[in-house]
Structure formats: C-alpha cells, structure tokens
A and B are shown apart, each in its own frame.
Chain A
Amino acid sequence: MKRISEVDIRIGELQQIDLEAFKLALSEIARQVSGEIRFNIEFEKAEFRCRVCGNTWPFESEKLDLDAREAIHVIPEVAHVFIKCPRCGSPDFEIIRGRGVWVEGVRGER
C-alpha cells in the first residue's frame, strides 16, 4: 500500500486503555508516517467462560483492587490470578472476548 488513509482499531476492555493517551500516540505515529490517517477505534467488552461449569460473565474492573487492575492492564492473562468464576469459584476459564489491541482493517491507495 502506497498510502494509508484509514485504520480500524479494536481495543479489548481487558486492556483498560486510556483512550485519550492512545489517540495521542496514534496521531504521533500518523504524523511520522504519512500525515492524514483516520483511526476508527471501537472497544470490545470483555467476557469470560468457565471451563468447569460453562458459566459466562463480564469483566467488572470495579470489583478488583488497583494492583489487580494494573496487572491485568499490563498482561491481561493474569486475570486468571485475580478473577474466579462467580458461580463455581474456578480459576479455569477462557477469555472469550475483550483482550488485546488489534488492527481490524486498513484502507488506502495501492
């Protein structure tokens, strides 16, 4: 691609990213790379599924202390250390959505 005009970015809720700081970093990259790039940012809610009882539940950061929130912000997988299935208490669960930051699509001139 010769020039990028638009980038679709998805942010998982588990990352707990400060949107304003993230936008500032993106605008800096755009300035260094090619000037005008439109960033379409969408958040994805986080959800867990228990591998023992099948229960699904959302991420509720307000139930965690500051250290746990910070640790999950840096490495989302440590959610397994701080979160348990609210139904059966198991730490064996899947993060079925809402982790990571990824590029969903890129548009521009070929």
Chain B
Amino acid sequence: MSDKSIDPRLNVIDTRLEKIKKIIAVASGKGGVGKSLVSSVLALLLSRRGKRVGLLDLDFTNPSTHLILGAESTYPLEDKGVVPPKISGFEYVSIIFFTGDRPSPLRGPDVTNAFIEILALTRWSNLDYLVIDTPPGLGDALLDLINLIKNLNFLIVSTPSRLSLGTVKKLVSLLKEVNGSVLGVIENMKTDFSPSIKGDIEAMGVRYLGSIPFDPAIEDALGKPEELLETRFGKSLSSIADIL
C-alpha cells in the first residue's frame, strides 16, 4: 500500500461504533492488576441490569476474558463482517476466535493493523455499553485505541502497590495530554494491610471509584460467570458499577 492510497477500513470504524452509547476502555498501564477480570465481570454486571452490552478483548498477545467467562468454544458468524456471538447475555469478540490457544507474536504495526481490522469488521448491535479489555502498557496499543476510537472513556485499574500506582500516574498523565476521558480508578486486590491509594488518585485530579478486596475465591470461580458474580470481587465491583 503506498502512502497516497486510501485505507477504507478507517472510514468504517466510526460507522461500526456509532450505535454504541458508551465505550469503556479498561486500562492499567501495568499487567497483572485484574484488568481482564474487571472487564469481564463489569460486562456481566451491566448485562444483568438489563443493559445491552458488548465486550471486546483487545489484549492480543495475552487474551484471557474467554477463560474468565468460560467462552473457550464460542465462535462468531461471518456475515458482511464479523457478527459477535452472545455469551452470558452480551455480545463478545476476542482475537482468540482467530488464533485459538496458540501464541500470537505480533509487533507494533501488526497490532495496529489487527486492531483496525477487528474494529472495522465487527458488527455490534445497538449497545448501551461496549467494554474493551485493553492490553497493558503505554505504547502502540494504547495510542492506537485513542487514535481509532472517538469518545473513549478510560476506566483505570490499579492495585495498592506503589509499583502499580506509579504506572497509573504515567497513564493518567498521558491521557490528560491527549484529552482522554477518565471515568476514574478502581483499586483492586486491596488487603487489610494495604495503605489506601485514594489520596494519591484524587491528587491526580481523578475520581477514586472504590476498592475491591483481594479475593482468593476468584480462582475457583473462573470460567463460571454466575459464580463470579457471587464472589466478594463480583459484589464489590457491583457497587462500583452503580456509579459508572
């Protein structure tokens, strides 16, 4: 493709997303803080409240929402694009549909192209919410999302650790520079001994949405959506979902 050629996919993305009222990108900067769990359970919670919901797993190198939701054998229909299948009452798309459980070693430009392709192809219905599980990091993938999707609302997940908090500060700073909308920060994996990060978050000028306790029971509930909702994790996130 030459520099002067026209990429028709870029014009299609806005059309594909125009019937969605609110797009929530769950981001963290750092990996391993529970972003995919928050994305998956948030989609479940919103759907249980009668909202029309979609969940898009854009963590191409390490997708995991299909494992959290027990959606390993779900496949989309191809009809003038990709028609998302419904799982647990909401529409769902993941790169896993196309890669299976194989590793997908994509570099930056390949990730960009795959993002564009999946956004241009997916035919979401009229949705109240599209929840996007984003890849960790502050690089290509995040910048691509900001460039490709208008009206993104970032929901940031952190742990109480200073290591996570440091990355969140950079993420918030970056999002402010690009005029990204930040819904707030969820503090995940909080223990009785964790110093609260509420003050640090509010000092960044960002809303502290609440905390979710460290919940060892979550491991046994993986793959079982109804059980996920009954965990302390699910119940705490439910209170946070009320204010989103």
Contact = CB atoms under 8 A, between A and B. Distances in A.
Interface of A: 10, 67, 71, 74-78, 80-82, 91-92, 95, 99-104, 106
A78 B99 contact: yes
A76 B117 contact: yes
B1 interface: yes
Nearest to B98: A71
Interface of B: 1-2, 5-9, 78, 82, 95, 97-100, 102-107, 110-111, 113-114, 117-118, 121
Given A10-B5, A71-B99, A75-B95, A99 B113 contact: yes
Contacts of A10: 1, 5
25 contacts: A67-B100, A71-B97, A71-B98, A74-B78, A75-B98, A75-B117, A75-B118, A77-B110, A78-B98, A78-B104, A78-B114, A81-B98, A81-B103, A81-B104, A81-B105, A99-B113, A100-B1, A100-B113, A101-B8, A102-B1, A102-B6, A102-B7, A102-B8, A103-B8, A106-B6
Closest 7 CB pairs of A and B: A103-B6, A71-B98, A77-B114, A77-B110, A102-B5, A81-B99, A75-B117
Contacts of B106: 77, 80
A49 to B, nearest CB: 13
Contact of B105 (A67, A80, A102): A80
B114 A75 contact: yes
A76 B6 contact: no
A76 to B, nearest CB: 7
User: Main SS of chain A's interface residues?
Assistant: mixed
A22 to B, nearest CB: 12
A74 B98 contact: yes
Contacts of A75: 95, 98, 114, 117-118, 121
Contacts of A99: 113
A103 B5 contact: yes
Nearest to A82: B102
A104 B5 CA distance: 5
A74 B104 CA distance: 15
A3 to B, nearest CB: 18
A97 to B, nearest CB: 9
B109 to A, nearest CB: 9
Contacts of B6: 102-103, 106
B5 A80 contact: no
Contacts of B110: 77, 80, 95
B104 A80 contact: yes
